[in-house]
Amino acid sequence: MSDLATALLDRELGHGSPRYGPRPWSDLAAALIEALDEAALDRLAEKLGPRLAGSLAAGAGPEPDRWLPAREAAAHIGVSVHALHRLSADRRIPASQDRPGGRLYFRRSELDRWRSERSR
């Protein structure tokens, strides 16, 4: 492992914020990918290629459309639960309730559509 990768792992896993702890693995992966040069990315692709091909052949595709509770929906689109509730109250994002005043549920496909429209 390179010195940079070791330093990143050390920082991410060993020295997280006392309040929030280390950052999520996705941040670590993004930092490592940013640190790789073209040759290292090619080597990574060679190692991941067979695994990805096997997963795709086994039918592991995108997650099926389903109803998500508010916490999962918020994590899926990268906002807080409070922000998600505000978006649904303002009717900027579609939601359904199990009963009046009850829990909110969000369709994964609708969240993906909202996210893609927002990024344009």
Q: What are the start-end ranges of the H helices in the chain?
A: 3-9, 25-35, 38-57, 70-77, 81-89, 108-118
Contact 106, 95 (CB under 8 A): yes
Per-residue pLDDT tens digits of the chain, which is 120 residues long: 555 555 555 555 554 444 445 445 566 677 777 788 888 888 888 888 887 777 666 665 566 788 999 999 999 998 999 999 999 999 999 999 988 888 999 999 999 998 888 877
Q: Which two tokens stand for residue 61?
A: 């595709």
The whole model's pTM is what?
A: 0.48
Reduced to 3 states, what is the DSSP secondary structure of residue 119?
coil
pLDDT score for 13: 53
Q: Which two tokens stand for residue 73?
A: 């929906």
pLDDT score for 38: 87
Residue 100's alpha-carbon distances to 15, 45, 69, 110, in angstroms, are 45, 50, 16, 21
CA dist., res. 96 & res. 26, Å (int): 30
pLDDT score for 45: 83
Domain boundaries, the chain: 3-57, 67-118
pLDDT score for 17: 44
Q: Are strands 67-69 and 96-97 parallel, antiparallel or unpaired?
A: unpaired
Cβ atoms within 10 Å, residue 2? 11
